[in-house]
Chain A
Amino acid sequence: MLAPPTFAACFTIGRLGDVVADPELGAHWNLVHGSQEYEFHRPIAVGDTLDCTPMVTDIRDRRRMELLTLQIDCVDAASGAPVLTSRAGLIFFPPRPPDAGVDSAAGAEAG
């Protein structure tokens, strides 16, 4: 039995929280998911054990936001053969005072 393509969200997006919460990164939760790409080297099947290695591949400023690209390479744990490459684009909004309006983020990409 094969997994639907975006089942990969369970181990590429759900675990993003681990990265965002890493104190060494210094990120915060004022973020949205701007883009996502999955490259399947083979389908994901029931019974697979995958080793997934996340890597921050880019951080850049755009206007008052910060864009972070997180790549996750998933390989078959037994053979080491590549299974999935995931690339997530995260958009961090600027911190704002508690009483600020919502207009400043309008028009941003959001997902």
Chain B
Amino acid sequence: MMPRFEDVRVGDQLPSQSETLPQDRLIAYAGASGDFNPLHWSQEFAAGVSPTGGVIAHGMLNMGLVSRVVTDWAGGPQHVRSLSASFRAPCPVGSTVTCGAEVVDLDADAHTVTLAVWAELDDGSRVVDRRSSRAVVALD
């Protein structure tokens, strides 16, 4: 059941979602998005340019996982006014990412909710950095 604006409070946490991202998932995302940068599938290429020295996941794949946390809660894409992601830490292939969101602001006039959103690795690495990644959602 989608939330009503009057029931939302600053500090509310959305249900988090975790997913492991093996190489085939990154290749599938390359095909789906059209982003074929070899950084996401070629170890040989990644060894020369990657921040980790290895293949890393697309930032947009992680942004998509974050987006799903928001749309599942809000009741669909039609509620999303904006979505931003700061890709801080690299996400090595094979990582398990946990995506979440927290209400940080409410606009009673516009009936919009601002969420801090994130995707983090098990070691706390900020793949999508909650300090500078936001979603603005309109609720009834």
Contacts and interface: CB of A to CB of B under 8 A. Distances in A.
Interface residues of A, number: 38
Of B36, B60, B78, most A-chain CB atoms within 10 Å: B60
Interface stretch (A50-58, A68-76, A100-108): A100-108
Interface size class for chain B?
35 or more
B53 A5 contact: no
Interface string A23-50: 0000001111111111110011000000
Interface stretch (B12-20, B81-89, B98-106, B107-115): B81-89
Contacts of A5: 67, 70-71, 77, 80, 83
B59 interface: yes
A38 B71 contact: no
A43 B64 CA distance: 16
Contacts of A4: 64, 67-68, 71, 77
Given A9-B34, A17-B37, 10 more contacts: A4-B68, A5-B77, A9-B64, A10-B32, A33-B59, A44-B77, A102-B50, A102-B53, A109-B87, A110-B52
Interface of A: 2-6, 9-10, 13-17, 29-40, 43-44, 93, 96, 98, 100, 102, 105-111
